[in-house]
Structure 1
């Protein structure tokens, strides 16, 4: 009896020492631990997403090291939750945050009674480790992990812990959380995945990088683990054996591994605007939703039409093109595309140096240009700004100008004596005919009308030597009109341009040309150019929302007159023919072409009340086109084909 009593006393003493040691360890490690409440208080890093105008088409995600979209547990399918629990912690709903056996092993290892042991972590432990603790494998770290896991399990429901876990863990390919993983590997929302896909995602958690589906060897291991998890789901009673066998037979289709970006030239432009305003690092973790003005249906038409046009124009040695579409009433950019529409395409010709000698450089957005290379010469597409300025001075479309050989004085060290495109002169012509037919000589003479202090009855001067200052004054006022309508790239002193500006001697870009022409379409009212409609933060609060501010920059009658002239098919027919690419049988479309003297740039810009479109064709390295084809032949077909497809969707005849 005494021996039994002695044994009991020894056991009680040892057990007391054990409990004291356990309590001491808890106090020692717990003092430096973060509060479990931090889970409820913290901001989880999430990607910023850029959408089209409907919010249904994801154009691009801005993310740092973690691409993540938080989803509530209610949107995560049960078969995925079950698969993850089977794979990572089959007793998740039974234990108190840790596996008791693992807890004893960890404590004994800390007391040096057993060797250090690792692995077999529960879901709460994994969550604690991935959020608060380092990945260093030490007894101290493991003990901290266990203590905090117990506290986490005590304070929060199992479902809440599971929700945090499923939104926290890495799945490889920069995808964190189940929604980002579903999008990355299957191209669908997490609530849309089926059983075999769910088991595959659960399989990735163990080793997301060594089980990647994008390497054949690791893919085999991933699929084998997927089947193992399906068998375990049967064992745990989550699914039937028949369901598991059917899921094993189904072939898993993985989304192609590539950088996902739709409408890249528009989207990267929007991204640069956002980063300039809010900062790149902030956007990578903010979880914002950016709703852009892009109409993705119109965008797809634009991309297809430009690709077809480039193929057709290769016969003229034209290997690039750009198209921009803007809504005149709202200033919203509806479409923007360059070249093949693929930002990751190969430069052409093969082996060329981008920025130096490439005919096509996919990384350069010619639709918006850069500070160093703001645009291309617009040719005669600039003329409407000149004529609008003349109409502001009180002249009308019936005013007569003599179209004849003319000396405009000395510019750039030599006398300037331009000709019309066809080399012919037509004598007396009205301003309507001169603009509609894009006659060069009468259009330059219009500068004199603008710059002259006195009203002129008709203009027949054929020698402007000594009158250069008057031309410059007219040019100055015309540049102001262009700037009022939205052109920002013509910032040099007026003397740097000279009268050749009438024929497009400056540099503009397709975006601003579409925008400036949209003011004519909107009867002289300019609204701010708007690629972004609304921005919401991760909680749904509105950060930014577009406002429809309106500014009158041109008299409505003048805007309507320009529109009427540019849509007057009879007036332009003597130069372009009655059935040119500027003519639309069922719609009234105002349009203007532009071709530079050396055939390096071809434009067609035009509009209806619903849409303003700018098309540019040329080469990145500024190489000239061959066969001396005008813009109506090179850019016109792209313009016409695009509007023929789009107008039935947005307007009435």
Structure 2
């Protein structure tokens, strides 16, 4: 009996197994090197990627249900401002608009340095991508996750066009998904230059200026085709944050720094020479004063009222009319100088507070110059009251 017990004790013990056969369950060895770790994680990575692609496809299909057709971007009615000019059609006196100043121009009228200023600062791969930049989107998603926010980012020019022309500015994943789908469709339907032309005529540049032509007129008093390299860089700097970079705001230094950065990009990419870049950096920038947005104010407001009476307010604000008036701009400026001088003289001699002037061609009856008061913007003298038209004063000895 003792011998049997000793024999039993000398036998090796069998590991416990829950399997019917009693065979030990094999465990996967733990990775001991980088290669083994990669091999271990690779199947899980492909599984996660597959699930991610499937979820993305479902989301794309879901948010594509009610999106606008890409054709709508050219079929829609675009409001354009009505421009009132002097008799030569060269001096813009006033721009009548509802909520958006806008003038449509062809891409050919936009200088190359202006186009590339926008492309390089907003979407360097514009001529390479198919509507969106996947690497940029991934970077933006990672940033959103890390900052727990829904910050905008990685939008191509095509996406910006879609957002401003067809969608809203809502910062939501659903809107972003629709934006990507429509951007892809637009890239398939239109050429790059067509998209670029639509972009330059659609994007807001601040101060109710929509499109590059209105922005050029508003900020510099000149057409987009006449923008200098420095001016073009400033225009390109605005869409990223129109309020922050406003030339009339408190961050003009930041605007100028961004302008110089864009000029450096143009130089690095060979779009301008080093000499042109240096000249652009040193150029003195002068912005149009807000009060100069309207010239010969008494006259143009009077003309605007007549247009509204004849064509309706909506047509004046959104119809994009080009109105050539009888006003002689050179004579108007001389009239303003005369009124400024004689109004001051009359104040000293007669204690008079105001003055008015109208110059008419006696042969045709055309109004060549008009000042309804010495200063349209002076509230103390009710300067916006047009004595020449609304006052109905006796002409007296002027005959």
Which TM-score bucket, shorter chain as reference?
0.7 to 0.9
- Pair 1:176-2:210 in alignment: yes
1:318–1:101 distance in 2 versus 1, CA, 3 Å:
closer
Q: Indicate if the aligned counterparts of 1:106 and 1:143 stay in contact, CA closer than 8 A.
A: no
**Structure 1 position 117, deviation (Å):** 6.5
The equivalent position to 2:327 in structure 1, one of 286, 291, 294, is 294
Residue 248 of structure 1 aligns with which residue?
281
* SS in structure 2 at match of 1:367: helix
How far apart, CA to CA, are the structure 1 residues paired with 2:89 and 2:57?
54
Q: Indicate if the aligned counterparts of 2:298 and 2:376 stay in contact, CA closer than 8 A.
A: yes
**Structure 1 position 281, deviation (Å):** 3.9
Unaligned runs of 5+ in 2: 1-27, 29-40
The two structures, once aligned, show a CA RMSD in angstroms of: 3.2
* SS in structure 2 at match of 1:368: helix
User: Which shifted more, 186-195 or 297-306?
Assistant: 297-306
* SS in structure 2 at match of 1:135: coil
What are the residue-to-residue correspondences of 1:188-227 with 2, within 5 Å?
Answer: 188-215=222-249, 217-227=250-260
Residue 386 of structure 2 aligns with which residue?
365
The equivalent position to 1:62 in structure 2, one of 86, 91, 96, is 96
- Pair 1:604-2:378 in alignment: no
- Pair 1:283-2:316 in alignment: yes
- Pair 1:45-2:79 in alignment: yes
- Pair 1:90-2:124 in alignment: yes
How far apart, CA to CA, are the structure 2 residues paired with 1:345 and 1:219?
28
Structure with greater strand share of residues: 1
**Structure 1 position 9, deviation (Å):** 9.1
How far apart, CA to CA, are the structure 2 residues paired with 1:26 and 1:15?
16
Superposed CA deviations along residues 590-630 of structure 1, whole A, max 9, x for unmatched, are xxxx3xxxxxxxx412xxxxxxxxxxxxxxxxxxxxxxxxx
How far apart, CA to CA, are the structure 2 residues paired with 1:299 and 1:26?
60
What are the residue-to-residue correspondences of 1:495-514 with 2, within 5 Å?
Answer: none
Q: Indicate if the aligned counterparts of 2:373 and 2:385 stay in contact, CA closer than 8 A.
A: no
The equivalent position to 1:161 in structure 2, one of 195, 198, 211, is 195
- Pair 1:234-2:267 in alignment: yes
**Structure 1 position 137, deviation (Å):** 1.3
The equivalent position to 1:75 in structure 2, one of 109, 112, 127, is 109
The equivalent position to 2:179 in structure 1, one of 142, 145, 155, is 145
Q: Indicate if the aligned counterparts of 1:106 and 1:116 stay in contact, CA closer than 8 A.
A: no
**Structure 1 position 234, deviation (Å):** 3.0
* SS in structure 1 at match of 2:336: helix
User: Which shifted more, 78-87 or 284-293?
Assistant: 284-293
**Structure 1 position 284, deviation (Å):** 1.9
**Structure 1 position 295, deviation (Å):** 2.6
Q: What is the TM-score normalised by the length of structure 2?
A: 0.80
- Pair 1:271-2:292 in alignment: no
**Structure 1 position 158, deviation (Å):** 0.6
Superposed CA deviations along residues 327-352 of structure 1, whole A, max 9, x for unmatched, are 45544333322332x311353xxxxx
Q: How many residues align?
A: 361
Residue 452 of structure 1 aligns with which residue?
none
Q: Indicate if the aligned counterparts of 2:205 and 2:211 stay in contact, CA closer than 8 A.
A: yes
How far apart, CA to CA, are the structure 1 residues paired with 2:207 and 2:197?
21
Superposed CA deviations along residues 546-588 of structure 1, whole A, max 9, x for unmatched, are xxxxxxxxxxxxxxxxxxxxxxxxxxxxxxxxxxxxxxxxxxx
1:134–1:229 distance in 2 versus 1, CA, 3 Å:
same
**Structure 1 position 120, deviation (Å):** 1.4
Q: Which has the higher contact order (CA 8 A, sep 6+)?
A: 2
Superposed CA deviations along residues 41-96 of structure 1, whole A, max 9, x for unmatched, are 12222211111222112111112221121111100000010010011000000000
How far apart, CA to CA, are the structure 2 residues paired with 1:193 and 1:240?
17
**Structure 1 position 221, deviation (Å):** 0.5
Q: Indicate if the aligned counterparts of 2:373 and 2:384 stay in contact, CA closer than 8 A.
A: no
Residue 35 of structure 1 aligns with which residue?
69
* SS in structure 2 at match of 1:223: helix
Residue 162 of structure 2 aligns with which residue?
128
How far apart, CA to CA, are the structure 1 residues paired with 2:365 and 2:227?
39
What are the residue-to-residue correspondences of 1:430-469 with 2, within 5 Å?
Answer: none
How far apart, CA to CA, are the structure 2 residues paired with 1:160 and 1:153?
10
